[in-house]
Amino acid sequence: MQARKPKDSDTTITELMIPSYANFGGKIHGGILLSLMDKVAYACATKHAGNYCVTVSVDTVDFLQPVEVGDLVSLMARVNYAGNTSLVIGIKVITENVKKKTVKHTNTSYFTMVAKSDNDKPARVPPLLLTTQEEIRRFAESILRKELKDYHRKAMRENKDTFNLKEQTHELAKYNCVIRVEE
């Protein structure tokens, strides 16, 4: 398969945040932004893969600053990593206050997408052609993120296997819970 450059599948979605997108506090619903992120990840991954792609996993979406009604939100997606059948799409979200002309970086997230063939099986994706230091860094960071996630998953599984309810229950006392077993 012929390698493809990340910039060949760069995709941006820009959308105005209208009042019907607001939550009960008057800010934009997190779900609206998640939906836009999923759409831009889909379009970017599918352009690179040449097959339709599905979302498999999302690495950390932190809403550290609220998005306001009236903001213009742009989501910029680029392929950061290509596996055998999976792609990691980095998405940078920026919001612009069109009246004040101020721009803020709202968050950056990583969506893992898998390409599917016509019979719904994972399909191979073209290799990524890396031509800048930045692209090499992003590719290497994606591998590290993947390894850390595998490590975390394995550690959780091992911890569950060795978890002793009686011994470890007292440690929960320092957390915000009340333990009153009724069964």
**Residues engaged in binding ligand COA (CB under 6 A):** 54-57, 83-86, 112, 114, 122
Q: For residue 83, report the phi and psi dihedrals to the nearest 5 degrees.
A: -100, -145
Partners of residue 72 on adjacent β-strands: 16, 96
As measured in angstroms, the least distance from the Cβ of 57 to ligand COA is: 4
Amino acid at 67: V
Cβ proximity to ligand COA: between 18 and 156 the closer is 156
Distance CA 182, CA 175 (A): 20
Cβ proximity to ligand COA: between 21 and 42 the closer is 42
- Give the residue closest to ligand COA by C-beta: 83
As measured in angstroms, the least distance from the Cβ of 54 to ligand COA is: 4
Neighbours of 102 (CB within 10 A): 10
As measured in angstroms, the least distance from the Cβ of 142 to ligand COA is: 11
As measured in angstroms, the least distance from the Cβ of 55 to ligand COA is: 5
Partners of residue 45 on adjacent β-strands: none
Q: And the tokens for 48?
A: 């690179």
In sign, the C-alpha dihedral spanning 69, 74, 80, 82 is positive
Cβ proximity to ligand COA: between 17 and 44 the closer is 44
Cβ proximity to ligand COA: between 53 and 94 the closer is 53
As measured in angstroms, the least distance from the Cβ of 75 to ligand COA is: 18
Cβ proximity to ligand COA: between 96 and 139 the closer is 139
Q: And the tokens for 125?
A: 């994706």
Distance CA 168, CA 80 (A): 41
